Amino acid sequence: MAQNDNNTQSNINELSPHSGTRYWGEVEVIEEGETYRISRLEIKPRHGIKPQIHYHRNEHWVVVSGVAKVTCGDAEILLNRNESTYVPAATLHKVENPGQIPLIILEIQNGEYLGEDDTERPYDLNLLKP
């Protein structure tokens, strides 16, 4: 039975539409449920995730390897390995890898709705207008 459980767990990564290659690196969904998703993000050196906002979910980011430059609202922090941060819902945020090695983050999303259509970016919100 443990073999079947392991196969089911492995298939989550392959079947999730949220896993895959992005311009900034890779996303691998480790586990997901109705109100949560746990993912492994690998961000290439000198790359980052564009600013975005979610209204129905919070995120926790734990740095596993590398250094993360995190902007959350008006605050900007650097996180090293074994450090973490919390991104509340309805807060503009982004993460960048300022280093020379891949940045690996475990991301825990938690909320009543996890759909991609809950993600807005500044150009979607017209925040880039002068």
Within a domain: 49: yes
By 3-state DSSP, what share of the chain in percent is helix, strand and coil, each rounded to 5? Answer: 15, 50, 35
Q: Which domain holds residue 62?
A: 2-125
* pLDDT surpassing 80 at residue 100: yes
**Residue range 104-109: mean pLDDT, rounded:** 98
Within a domain: 45: yes
Q: What is the value of pTM for the model shown?
A: 0.80
36-43 vs 25-32, strand pairing mode: antiparallel
Q: Which residues contact 89 (CB under 8 A, 6 or more apart)?
A: 54, 55, 56, 57, 58, 111
Work out how many domains the chain is built from and give that number. Answer: 1
**pLDDT tens digit string along 121-130?**
876 555 444 4
CATH number at residue 17: 2.60.120.10
* pLDDT surpassing 50 at residue 5: no
**pLDDT tens digit string along 37-87?**
999 999 999 999 999 999 999 999 999 999 999 999 999 999 999 999 999
* pLDDT surpassing 90 at residue 89: yes
Which pLDDT does position 125 carry in this prediction?
Answer: 53
Instruction: Name the token pair of 104.
Output: 């690996």
Q: Which of 17, 94, 110, 115 is nearest to 50 (CA)?
A: 94
Residue 38 in contact with residue 106, Cβ under 8 Å? yes
Within a domain: 103: yes
Which pLDDT does position 4 carry in this prediction?
Answer: 42
Within a domain: 15: yes
> What is the band of 116 on the pLDDT scale with cuts at 50, 70, 90?
confident
How far apart (Å, rounded) are the C-alpha atoms in residues 108 and 123?
25
Within a domain: 130: no
